[in-house]
Amino acid sequence: MNDGGLTPLIEARDLTKTYSSPPVTVFEGLDAIVPRQRMVAVVGPSGAGKSTLLHLLGGLDRPTRGSVLFEGRDVFGLSPVDLAQFRNRHIGFVFQFHHLLPEFTVLENASMPGVIRGAPRGETEAAARSLLERVGLGPRLTHRVGEISGGEQQRVAIARALVGGPQLLLADEPTGNLDTRIGETVFAMIRELHAERGLTSVIVTHNDKIAEQCDEVWVMEGGRLQNPNCSR
């Protein structure tokens, strides 16, 4: 395996995922290196395993075989509690559907990772407020989810993903539920925050325009991943 001289933040080695009922192997022996502060797009047909790969890189699912190294440390060597804490501190997630809590305000939703972590309330709310203002939602802080648009809801989800100061941003079709114009605005915001915060980002997308704006494009198809940073 060769990383082309780039320093990896996260690395997958010999990654295999098989579901047992019915038996289905999504991919087998997959290697991937995500260099620091790069934005990587993962593209390919539906069902190719793009979301599965993202979930494994983020420790949301466990592989059948193989390892995921974050700064050289195998995340699946952690206990379930430690793995949850690791995700909370180091990884931000954005999904196609925002998964906001409708009973809470915009500010409360964006603050949630800090609340879960047990950080001081004032500190967490200040960080969330700053991010929400950055994404143009300053006037919406006390609104509930049902009172804001779909594009605004996704911006809340982006703020929530970044409020804890993660190193890695994982986004699964972050514009897939939005119309073209709003989706372009949301992705432009993700790109700006990626650069401003020195993030390492992996974006699963079917949108060619989004993929073209990333530093690298990985193609996943037929259980294989074309990753320019890996060679066997």
pLDDT at 201 over 50: yes
Cβ neighbours of 30 (radius 10 Å): 24
Q: Domain for residue 154, yes or no?
A: yes
64-74 residue pLDDT tens: 999 999 999 99
15: number of Cβ within 10 Å? 25
Pairwise CA distance, residues 27 & 16, whole Å: 6
Nearest residue to 229 via CA among 14, 26, 33: 33
In a domain, 132, yes or no: yes
188 belongs to a structural domain: yes
31 in Cβ contact with 223 (< 8 Å): no
Is 211 inside any structural domain?
yes
Global pTM value: 0.88
Residue 189 lies in a domain: yes
- In angstroms, the CA 13 to CA 149 distance is 40
* Angle at alpha carbon of residue 179, lines to 177 and 185, rounded to 5°: 100
Compute φ and ψ for 108, nearest 5 degrees: -65, -40
Q: State the DSSP string of 25-80.
A: EEEEEEEEEEETT-EEEEE--TTSSHHHHHHHHTTSS--SEEEEEETTEEGGGS-H
Domain count along the chain: 1
Query: Does 11 have pLDDT greater than 80?
Result: yes
Angle, helices 150-162 vs 106-117, to 10°: value is 20
CATH of the domain at 20: 3.40.50.300
pLDDT tens-digit series, residues 163-190:
989 999 999 988 877 778 888 888 898 9
Residue 94 tokens, joined? 């954005």
At 148, is the secondary structure helix, strand, or coil? coil
Helices 121-134 and 150-162: crossing angle in degrees, nearest 10, is 130
2 domain-assigned: no
The single-letter code of the amino acid at 165 is G
In a domain, 194, yes or no: yes
Tell me the backbone φ, ψ of residue 215, rounded to 5 degrees: -70, -35
Is 72 within a domain?
Answer: yes
How many angstroms separate the CA atoms of 5 and 23, rounded?
A: 38
pLDDT of residue 229: 67
Write out pLDDT tens, residues 118-128.
Answer: 888 888 999 99
> The domain containing residue 91 runs over which residues?
8-226
Question: What is the token pair recorded at 138?
Answer: 């300053």
